[in-house]
Structure 1
Amino acid sequence: MSTTQIERLRALLEPLAAARGMDLEDVRITPAGRRRLLQVVVDTDEGVRLDACADLSRDASAALDASDVMGDAPYELEVTSPGAERSLSEPRHWRRATGRLVLVTPHRGTPLTARVTAADEAGVDLEVPGEKGRRPTARRVEFTEIAKARVQVEFNRKPAAADDESQKEA
């Protein structure tokens, strides 16, 4: 499970994901009893549908069978999306999180929970909720200032105005 093996897997799998319009986000190998679990994490700007994961899984399985990158030991292949509480580490992750609530931990200062309003290659624009009835405030954070960030799961989020209109038409 050396870095070299992960690099070889990335080199094999990245073109397959790209051919299907996906970004290869991560490749992980973990022990699973007598087998190993090869997890291939992919994403797109629109999200990843189950049938797209299945198609990529078939492509990856054929490519892995034709190569020696996994060796002779048995393994299970899992193609998946990043999940609801994904870590945000690339500008594309932030673009995909537009409208979502995030927890940002800066290198210096206090962690901040805010909504992503926009992102570019240098940083992210956030809307920080107002406290005690105050209005939300806009804040720009450069990626170099961020130690880590993660999308937060919202169970009671009210739909945006555009969502309200589409629900009225239905």
Structure 2
Amino acid sequence: MSALEDHTDLREAAAAVLDAHGLVLEEVELGREGGMPRLRLVVDQPEDELGSADLDTVAEASRELSARIDADDSLLGPEPVLLELTTPGVERALTAPRHFRRSRGRLLALRTAAGTEHRARLLAVDGETLHLRQEPGRDDRGRPRKLPAGTAERLALRIDELDAARVEVEFDPPEDLEQLLADAAADLPGAGLAAPDTTTAENTAGTTATKES
């Protein structure tokens, strides 16, 4: 098996570079582009951090990793390879507990295995259980919708109950978001307290930095 196909040494080198920049390696994907091998590394923030990875930080990590690969043929072999570092982007599916921990405070679109759909804000993650506040959104005239009669505002779902989950893009999170997260953390010690940074726009497409090794 070639160094390009194995990934073991590359994963170790990438982990060291990413760790120095406060990032973690999520996935390694091997493909081809224009007849050249393309190696795509999906990176993100550690699971105890909220929000998306900083674009400049990803680009800086990409340059450093590319330089390391150029200097060491054992990582990908001697042939040219298109190396791409990218973030998952807001549309990525949430499947693992770490994905949800990073999404505390975010508005989620959820569908259970039974087919029930929820639009709810993730307040805390306690092990495999999500603690949410249902938010039905607004109607065509901008008026807040009400939950159906008899529907509880607070909701707890286990991750293994879900068939699909993703973050919804929003530019005006509730003003009481920090208090909501603080209250949830007080009720569930260890489930997370920090509020997401709501001062910047959503990173909807992910970040890509490429380098021909």
Corresponding residue for residue 35 of structure 1: 36
Higher strand proportion, which one?
Answer: 1
Cα gap change, 1:121 to 1:19, in 2 (>3 Å): farther
Cα deviation code 1:76-98 (max 9, x no counterpart): 22222211212212323212212
Deviation at 1:32, TM superposition (A): 0.6
SS of structure 1 residue aligned to 2:68: helix
Alignment TM-score, normalising by the size of structure 2: 0.63
Question: How many angstroms apart in 2 are the aligned matches of 1:40 and 1:160?
Answer: 34
Match of 1:134 among 147, 155, 158: 147
Cα deviation code 1:33-58 (max 9, x no counterpart): 12122222222225322221122112
- The count of residues paired between Structure 1 and Structure 2 equals 163
List alignment gaps of at least 5 residues for structure 2. 138-144, 178-197, 200-213
Question: How many angstroms apart in 1 are the aligned matches of 2:85 and 2:18?
Answer: 10
Alignment TM-score, normalising by the size of structure 1: 0.77
Match of 2:131 among 105, 113, 125: 125
Question: How many angstroms apart in 2 are the aligned matches of 1:88 and 1:158?
Answer: 22
Matched, 1:150 2:156: no
Deviation at 1:4, TM superposition (A): 5.6
SS of structure 2 residue aligned to 1:54: helix
Cα gap change, 1:159 to 1:149, in 2 (>3 Å): closer
Deviation at 1:118, TM superposition (A): 1.5
Pairing of 1:57-136 with structure 2 (within 5 A): 57-65=62-70, 66-130=72-136, 133-134=146-147
Deviation at 1:16, TM superposition (A): 1.9
Q: Greater RCO between the two (CA within 8 Å, min separation 6)? A: 2
Contact kept? 2:132, 2:156, Cα under 8 Å: yes
Corresponding residue for residue 175 of structure 2: 161
Q: Between the two proteins, what is the percent identity of the paired residues?
A: 33
Letter of the structure 2 residue corresponding to residue 52 of structure 1 = T
SS of structure 2 residue aligned to 1:160: coil
Contact kept? 2:120, 2:136, Cα under 8 Å: no
Contact kept? 1:35, 1:73, Cα under 8 Å: no
Deviation at 1:5, TM superposition (A): 2.2
SS of structure 1 residue aligned to 2:132: strand
Matched, 1:22 2:23: yes
Contact kept? 2:39, 2:83, Cα under 8 Å: yes
Letter of the structure 1 residue corresponding to residue 64 of structure 2 = D
Cα gap change, 1:56 to 1:106, in 2 (>3 Å): same
